[in-house]
Structure 1
Amino acid sequence: MKIRWAKQEELTGIVRDFSKMIAHNSQLLIENVRTEYRVLRVGKEVFFPVTINHTEWENSFVCAPYAAYTAYAKEEIKWNINHKTVRAILILLVNAISGWLKRGMLNKNVHVNNFLMTTNPYPEWNGKEIAEITSFIKTQYPQHAIIFRSLNDYQHRHLLQLFQKNKYENVGSRQVYIFDLTKKAWLKHRNNKHDNKLIEKKGLHFINHQEMKAYLPQALELYRDLYLKKYSVLNPQLTLKYFKEVHQTGIINFHGYIDKNKILKAFSGQFTLDKTITSPIVGYDVSAPQKEGLYIHAAQLALLNKFDQGLLLNLSSGAPSFKRMRGGQASIEYSAIYLKHLPLKRRLPWKVLQFISNKIGVPLIKKYKL
């Protein structure tokens, strides 16, 4: 099986559109992402977007593991761990190793299948070319770790096993929520019936993808208020250019709700790859009272799209109780990382992270149902 870098004219579908958009200057689209971009061709039909990084310490975690395992990890600990002693110990641990991780060049890596989204869905792929892909990238980038992010044990158990057989380290990262049920089964959950009544009562006007074009500047503000101001500046700092281009090409399918004054109150943008839907862009008026249920409006847009298409929905992490009570199946997400070709001083930080993540982080995630 021949593995090589693809030419732009060979690409099709979403990978083609994404490549045209991102190839020249990633920071015009995502302000905190500096990366080199290429596409890996695997056989005749599989194309993987690939990002290559070296240091870029200020990058978003979508291509910078250092950010994911230091600053962003501390923020997630503060949000999710209520036990003061456990929280203090974990933050102390992250602070203690952060400098060492930086010296270990954690950001010197090649991410395969990276759409620069918080959750990267995978195409239908059986993984039989893992060894050949690894060999090819090692030849091209002999000093870089090789990373496949966003693998969860609900959808990708077979792939995770194959990566291990090919000497990859599977490092736990977070818990995501998978919706893989019929609409009939979904409606049996009492909370979903309550949500439907609330949405009907509020009487906001639904707008489709085409109608959302006029509301993209408002959507960007809602996204930034939620992801960057409320949560973390380490989330992708998307620009209006990004919103316009993913809308125009259809890479992301937008839906929203506006009020009687034509103000956008909630929206969701869904990204679909083969049999998986994700919702990488969400926003709602965070200043509104919780009783308005605007998060419910936004989340349900992705669910309704899932039922329309008959596909599986990966609704990512966050709001764990909300998602569980509405039919979400909890699943641990991993990154598969190849390090065998690197010197010991580069492998050790990853080994320590693997131990902390798999032996401490994942059990805590399961215990606290995060």
Structure 2
Amino acid sequence: MNDQPDSAEFDQPVTRRAGEPEASQFVSEVTARVMPSLIANVTAELTLVRHAGHDLPVVINHGDCGGSYVAAPHSAYVLYPKAELGLVDLGWLRVPASILIGLADRLFRTLRINHAVQIDNWLLSTNLHGEWTGAGIADLRADLARRYPNHFLVVRSVDPWSCPELLKNLRADGWLLLPSRQIWVTDDVERDWASRNSVKNDRRKLLQSGLIVEDVERLSDADAARIAQLYAMLYVHKYSALNPQYTPRWMQMAVATGLFHIRVARERDGQILAAAGIVARGGIATNPMLGYDTSRPQADGLYRIASWLVGDFARSHRLRVNGSAGAGHFKQQRGARSEIEYTAFHAGHLPFWRRAPLAWVALALEHLVIPVMKRRML
């Protein structure tokens, strides 16, 4: 996370619809650089596919294991849950969960699950699919299967709340849906979020802190480095090194291309203590980048302040919120409710021994893992 950006690379503002990232700009900026200079634990390729009037970023992994789950299905379904075992209280379920994860590890390595072509993947924890509904998905799927005959075809971040038409079209085209995680969504921010006492207390904490809220239009080198540091403090060092390890260069690129709208809370001397990177597509906001100074006392409420920045942005822009996974109790107290998110796989072009076991995995996840997620608000 020590990569220092060259701000001159991102000096030109990008013309785009307000709040909506442009896929062609995003892919162009990413492919002009070595991927690990943007995300330290991703080595996959990125390309652009134009289909049915939509520009879609496509991530291609040729089998590399151990990197971030944003580009590696094995990390999402094996390595990340394995790391979570040490953070979540599962009680007596810990032993059977560990055994199941070990079996999944061997199975997914045998299937070569990381040979994957991931459609509309923005290298984020949550991909918002916006206006792409999967219309004509059969043609796109057939074309990609011809180009990548040894790869699974994958669509991450599919759920019935944010992209019901995409989910419907994937099902109709025979894609297999594997539950991936429980996410927390807010249907009406004004009604469900702003009226909560916990949210009012979060705003009060911000006012008492004396921090200055700023919407950042262009990141300086110093601010980019600080925001990357705050993100790493929370998501990489506190939670998991399998989260995407965004560098300062990524932060500047994300702002320049319109991928991130960044809000920060600064001290009077300019030091950033909390930051949120917000993505907005199709009337929905999500925050794949959140960070705060974890060395400060918990009583400072910096996580609450960072989260408030996201809700306040969504409220002012009249957006629904996909709050991603984790911190279920915290988000529920602030008006969110749960949905199950899926990753869609298509393997019809692959040998039987590589495609058939996925159906068994999907069945096991649906009946064994989802009830635990819901019961323990994972």
What TM-score, normalized by structure 2, do the two folds share? 0.90
1:155-200 deviation per Cα after TM superposition (whole angstroms, max 9, x unaligned): 2233223212211111100011112214254232221122122221
1:207 and 1:256 in contact (8 A); partners too: yes
Question: Where in structure 2 are the equivalents of 1:13-162 lying within 5 Å?
Answer: 14-24=22-32, 25-43=34-52, 45-80=53-88, 82-162=89-169
Aligned length: 358
- Alignment match of 1:220 (pick from 223, 228, 231): 228
Look up the equivalent residue of 2:42 and give its one-letter code.
V
**Distance in structure 2 (CA, Å) of the matches to 1:253 and 1:164:** 33
CA gap 1:93/1:184 in 2 versus in 1, 3 angstroms: closer
CA distance in 2, matches of 1:46, 1:271: 18
Does structure 2 retain, via aligned residues, the 8 Å contact 1:223–1:282? yes
Contact 1:175/1:317 (CA < 8 Å) preserved in 2?
yes
Cα distance in 2, alignment partners of residues 66 and 186 from structure 1: 35
Q: Which moved more, 1:170-179 or 1:156-165?
A: 156-165
Task: Verify the 8 A CA contact 2:124 2:288 in the aligned structure 1.
Answer: yes
In the alignment, the residues of structure 2 paired with residue 231 and residue 146 of structure 1 have an alpha-carbon distance, to the nearest angstrom, of 29
Alignment of 1:1-370 (within 5 A): 14-24=22-32, 25-43=34-52, 45-80=53-88, 82-210=89-217, 213=220, 214-370=222-378
Change over 3 Å in CA distance of 1:212–1:35 after alignment to 2: closer
Contact 2:274-2:303 at 8 Å conserved across structures? yes
Contact 1:101–1:349 at 8 Å: present in 2 too? Answer: no
For 2:85 and 2:47, the matched residues in 1 are separated by: 34
Report the secondary structure of 1:79's partner residue.
Answer: coil
Q: Deviations over 1:222-244 (max 9, x none)?
A: 11111111111111111111112
Secondary structure at the counterpart of residue 343 of structure 2: strand
Cα distance in 2, alignment partners of residues 232 and 187 from structure 1: 31
How much does 1:312 deviate?
1.8
User: What is the CA-CA distance between 1:278 and the residue it aligns to?
Assistant: 1.5
Q: Distance in 2 between matches of 1:202 and 1:278?
A: 25
Unaligned runs of 5+ in 1: 1-10
Q: Deviations over 1:89-130 (max 9, x none)?
A: 101211233123212101011100000111010021333211
> Identity of aligned pairs, percent?
28
Name the CA distance, whole Å, in 2 between partners of 1:210 and 1:129. Answer: 36
Of 12-21 and 214-223, deviating more is 12-21
Which stretch has the larger CA shift, 340-349 or 228-237? 340-349
Contact preservation (8 Å) 2:276, 2:290 = yes
Match of 1:5?
Answer: none
Runs of 4+ in structure 1 off by over 6 angstroms are none
Distance 1:150 1:132 in 2: 21
Please tell me the root mean square deviation across aligned C-alpha atoms, in Å.
1.9
C-alpha contact (below 8 Å) 2:61/2:117 kept by paired residues: yes
Deviation at 1:286, TM superposition (A): 1.2
Q: 1:212·1:256 contact (CA, 8 Å) conserved in 2?
A: no
The whole-number CA distance in structure 2 between the counterparts of 1:212 and 1:66 is 34
C-alpha deviation, 1:276, in angstroms: 2.2
Cα distance, 1:268 vs structure 2: 0.4
SS in 2 for 1:365: helix
- Residues 57 and 194 (structure 1), Cα distance of their counterparts in 2 relative to 1, 3 Å cut: same
- How far the C-alpha of 1:266 sits from its partner, in A, is 0.5
Per-residue CA deviation, residues 200-256 of structure 1 (Å, 9 max, x unaligned), is: 122212122147535221111111111111111111111111112222333211111
Amino acid aligned to 1:178:
V
Query: 1:146 & 1:292 partners in 2: Cα distance?
Result: 45
Contact 2:189–2:320, Cα closer than 8 Å, also in 1: no
TM-score by length of 1: 0.91
Q: Any idea what SS the aligned residue of 1:208 has? A: strand
Mapped partners of 2:155, 2:181: distance in 1 = 15
